[in-house]
DNA sequence: CTGTGGATTTGCT
DNA sequence: GCAAATCCACAGG
């Protein structure tokens, strides 16, 4: 075993195993819970960036009763949100407030909308690059890198132009969701963050996070 | 064609 | 705690 060229920041091995599309062919709530503890990987030419999913939110399609007025799919398919209405396991990345991006994963089956918003990760691989992407010093705190839906996009370098519509369960995809065997512990369920106060879905319990995890965003966790 | 507001983050008070 | 930053999808005329 002649030492193979040893990885020098080599982009070789992705952690764990790729998820199957069937993993995402379920309700957004179900997929949200199942996603906690899974690993989001972004493989670029130079670097492998990875983080464990520690906080998500479910957004329901308009076929639900009552419909989810907080979801982008609420008013039916548009050029922007068409990915949500497509098959499961695809990335829906959109821009917000002109400066930021948010990343989602489509659920359910083709023709039926539903998605999961990724709200926070625990950085695992490529922390130095994440800090650079965020404009922070190397060694920045984990929670400053990927705690928040737009922060994690910035840390991983995700944009609408490059990543919207990518198939996350294709083994050739630069962006994947993988299972490294981590078992999620206690899960905290709360209302979703940033919902318009006038929205009837304001208090729906569709936000899920690993209890007590330091990288979870938003209000302090309730004692569960 | 134009007006409006958003699944946010940051910096200043 | 609050408001600025700053783009574009979408709805209405």
Chain C positions with an atom below 7 A of a protein C-beta are 5-11
- Predicted confidence at residue A220, as pLDDT, reads 55
Distance between the alpha carbon (CA) of A144 and the C1' atom of C4, Å: 21
Distance between the alpha carbon (CA) of A14 and the C1' atom of C11, Å: 44
- Predicted confidence at residue A196, as pLDDT, reads 86
Structural domains of chain A ordered from first start? 17-210 (3.10.300.10)
> Mean pLDDT of all residues in chain A?
92
Distance between the alpha carbon (CA) of A4 and the C1' atom of C8, Å: 49
Closest nucleotide (C1' vs CA) to A73 is B7
Q: Residue A11's pLDDT band (boundaries 50, 70, 90)?
A: low
pTM here is 0.93
Distance between the alpha carbon (CA) of A95 and the C1' atom of B12, Å: 26
Residue at minimal CA–C1' distance from C5? A99
Percent of chain A with pLDDT over 90: 86
- Predicted confidence at residue A207, as pLDDT, reads 96
User: pLDDT, tens digit, for every residue of A183-216?
Assistant: 999 999 999 999 988 888 989 999 999 999 999 9
- Predicted confidence at residue A45, as pLDDT, reads 87
Closest nucleotide (C1' vs CA) to A70 is B7
User: pLDDT, tens digit, for every residue of A142-180?
Assistant: 999 999 999 999 999 999 999 999 999 999 999 999 999
- Predicted confidence at residue A8, as pLDDT, reads 40
Residue carrying the six token digits 């080599």: A10
Cβ-7 Å neighbors of strand C = A 72, 75, 78-81, 94-95, 97-99
A127 to each of A47, A61, A130, A193, A215, how far by Cα in Å?
Answer: 10, 35, 5, 26, 14
CB A117 within 8 A of CB A104: yes
CB A114 within 8 A of CB A121: no
User: pLDDT, tens digit, for every residue of A101-112?
Assistant: 999 999 999 999
Tokens standing for A87? 């098959």
Distance between the alpha carbon (CA) of A172 and the C1' atom of C4, Å: 41
């Amino acid at each position: 075993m002649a030492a193979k060229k040893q990885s020098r920041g080599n982009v070789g091995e992705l952690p764990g195993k790729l998820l199957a599309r069937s993993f995402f062919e379920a309700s957004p709530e179900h997929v949200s819970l199942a996603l906690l503890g899974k690993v989001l990987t972004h493989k670029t030419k130079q670097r492998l960036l990875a983080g464990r999913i520690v906080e998500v939110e479910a957004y329901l399609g308009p076929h639900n009763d009552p419909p989810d007025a907080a979801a982008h799919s609420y008013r039916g398919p548009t050029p922007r949100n068409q990915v949500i209405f497509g098959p499961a396991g695809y990335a829906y990345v959109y821009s917000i407030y002109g400066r930021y991006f948010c990343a989602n994963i489509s659920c359910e089956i083709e023709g039926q909308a539903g998605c999961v918003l990724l709200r926070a990760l625990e950085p695992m691989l490529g922390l130095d690059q994440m800090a650079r992407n965020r404009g922070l010093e190397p060694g920045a705190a984990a929670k400053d890198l990927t705690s928040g839906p737009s922060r994690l996009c910035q840390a991983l370098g995700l944009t609408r132009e490059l990543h919207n519509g990518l198939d996350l369960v294709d083994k050739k995809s630069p962006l994947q969701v993988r299972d490294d065997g981590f078992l999620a512990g206690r899960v905290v369920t709360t209302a979703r963050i940033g919902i318009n106060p006038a929205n009837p879905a304001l208090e729906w319990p569709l936000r899920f996070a690993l209890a007590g995890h330091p990288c979870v965003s938003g209000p302090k966790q309730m004692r569960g």
